[in-house]
A and B are shown apart, each in its own frame.
Chain A
């Protein structure tokens, strides 16, 4: 029993962590938190089921198409909902524009795909077991994403450029970096990671349009608690969240588990608004 709680907790935690990383990658490139992060996870599940189960495409092809679709949606987000409002970022219009975009996509999904949760296909032809693919796939995806991002940021030129615009976009522009192109690339990357989260966690979460707001909320918890822009913090906080949620699920029942997660989230944030990892406040006057 404990084993299954831990396994499913870690698996769910990895999905939350991936959505948290999605938030972070977009935030690093633009200083914007986007409501589309959870939408990407929802799209990963629905499109995966659409391509593989309904169209009958091979799993590998379906997977690549899902990643590509996520990347495209990331770019669309940047062009439609982020770039136009970046100039007046202190007005926080991005909250509204990304919310609008997220709602549009969610609504299209609800109408075209339906409002029922539908099964997600089994990706690998393996026998079911305790350590099933539905729990290890999200873990593997999370591991690949975090290791890949670390390698990218540390060892490649474009990774250094990402870090430069995350640190100071004005200075980066001054150095001659193509800030707009880098930002779009970041959003494409974030889109692929978000779609990966929904795809790898498809069997756990099912192909369901209502995952969008759930993931938007639960995926933001690791960001808020792990410290914004901090991917390792997001993974740690995501795993904690997943374990806590599954344990509460078992101990007090599903609904009150949600209440417990929400209450803990609010209390921690109120005690430490900058997250458990900490960050400094900006100059105001």
Chain B
């Protein structure tokens, strides 16, 4: 079919720049204007409340990256507030060394907070959810006990005076604007991260960790950066808190505060900046409307938490997400445009091969793969078929590093692939999809695809925080590539839609688009045709052929015999972990044993 030249240009869907964090820029501006004008309306006491909300938000904004984005259940973050408060107060008062300027003390508190943020956070790399939650809780209990006991420094139960900042920040409103400025800065920085490849990688770790690994996202480095940042702003918040309180004792840092921070994020909604900001304001102000409520405030927060978890897991952010309530067209066809592939993948990769050499792997007494030889060459589609339990997916998992073979070798050209280093596969440009699509449901389609290109970015985490030029260049490049990848699989019209609103077949094509973002030398597909209609399978076949023509080696694990025989250059048939037959589709079709055992008469 002839295409008009103009159609080859990938269409830019309108409003693509609407990452959830930035889509609400007007709301942030309105909030900032209200906050700036607040002293015109509010009286003295309300000034304190407003300052407190700003201080809390400085901490919550950082914690939001940990809880809301990375999905780590950190419930003891008050410990970092405590550390920051004492560090600032003690240094400014000169309890241990000559007194230093409160601003320097505040900076020191940021350093202390960052270090301890890393220490409290790093167990998250090894520990499962509840374990991590408990360790943060334990840390919070202990920091308070130490503050109480270390009398020579912290003053014990008597406490220490908080720092006093120099004019113009020494008056109530002066200090308010100081805190507001820092809160606005934190909002801006975390929104930058949220809309960067780091923010998307965090949500991938939260909702689709296996896919994150396959995209080359190294969890340790990323989480370390987030914990450092979150700890630093928590330390600063502590210093501000101490100044606001004007005198601090260990009693000021109850677990109730931790709960407030944590719940503000969940009420606001995970993966949003505006939601938790509103949540923080709400929870700070709520108890002030009725004096009797103050004693019951933690009870109230807990009830809110339970209600949110059970009734409205998306939080405020979901309520405000009007864009995603518009109905989608009901009859949507996926029309891939494989002719755009060369523009994404570029010049064909040099000839290379992914080989398995007598690979064997047993689970207990079951031999899942038993001495398998396989060679996938660039530019070819290699089919892997066989009955259930014959070892197809296990083979794929050995190649991508989820299992380690017990015997034999997996090689890319002549180099052995290291087992278990899953995220290293992406750097070797080996991409994969999954039997059940692993997608970040709460992120938009285009964000999901952009996750696939995470390792292509050049800017660092700090550059993203401050939205420096390299960060902006990365984002523009990733977005263009993602639009192109979506056009190739035929889903560019759905780019701004939340991924969990899509049909199953569309998710399969999104996974392929995400894998294409790596410009893969090898693409491993685990039953991509499962759940697709006959038409869609045909289009998938054409797409796979085109991907191979662009120079990529494709490994296709499938049950649909028609698809296998249509698109494959070479087919390997597995049975009970062993190779039953191998050859061209025509040879396999004529193979008596295969026909009897598997294909049927």
Contacts and interface: CB of A to CB of B under 8 A. Distances in A.
Of A93, A107, A258, A265, which is in contact with the most chain B CB atoms at under 10 Å from its CB? A107
B313 interface: yes
A285 B397 contact: yes
A265 B306 contact: no
A197 to B, nearest CB: 17
A273 B302 contact: no
Main secondary structure, interface of A, reads: helix
Interface string B433-477: 010000000000000000000000000000000000000000000
Main secondary structure, interface of B, reads: helix
A93 B306 CA distance: 10
B149 A254 contact: yes
A152 interface: no
A111 B296 contact: yes
A103 B266 CA distance: 16
Contact of A107 (B123, B141, B298, B434): B298
B306 A255 contact: no
A255 B148 contact: yes
B138 A262 contact: yes
Contact of A262 (B142, B150, B255): B142
Given A255-B145, A255-B148, A285-B397, A96 B309 contact: yes
B34 interface: no
Contact of A92 (B75, B126, B130, B434): B130
B309 A100 contact: yes
A228 B150 CA distance: 35
Interface string A255-269: 110110010011001
B419 to A, nearest CB: 14
Interface in A219-250: 220, 224
A251 to B, nearest CB: 15
A97 interface: yes
Given A80-B306, A103-B299, A216-B134, A95 B73 contact: yes
Contacts of A259: 142, 146
Nearest to A23: B130
A270 interface: yes
Interface residues on A, range: 35 or more
B265 to A, nearest CB: 11
B302 A101 contact: yes
B126 A270 contact: yes
A270 B148 contact: no
Contact of A269 (B127, B146, B148, B306): B127
B324 interface: no
A96 B304 CA distance: 11
Contacts of B134: 216-217, 220, 224
Contacts of B138: 217, 262, 265
A95 B127 contact: no
A85 interface: yes
A213 interface: yes
A251 B149 CA distance: 16
Nearest to B396: A285
A33 B210 CA distance: 24
A104 B306 contact: yes
A182 interface: no
Contacts of B393: 285
Given A108-B299, A216-B134, A285-B393, 16 more contacts: A33-B130, A92-B130, A95-B130, A100-B306, A103-B259, A103-B298, A103-B301, A107-B299, A254-B145, A259-B142, A269-B131, A270-B127, A273-B127, A285-B210, A285-B397, A285-B402
Interface of B: 73, 75, 123, 126-131, 133-135, 137-139, 141-142, 145-146, 148-150, 210, 255, 259, 266, 295-296, 298-299, 301-303, 305-306, 309-310, 313, 393, 397, 402, 434
23 contacts: A80-B306, A92-B73, A95-B130, A96-B266, A97-B305, A97-B310, A100-B303, A103-B298, A107-B299, A108-B299, A214-B141, A216-B134, A217-B134, A217-B141, A254-B145, A255-B148, A255-B150, A259-B142, A269-B135, A270-B123, A270-B126, A273-B131, A285-B402
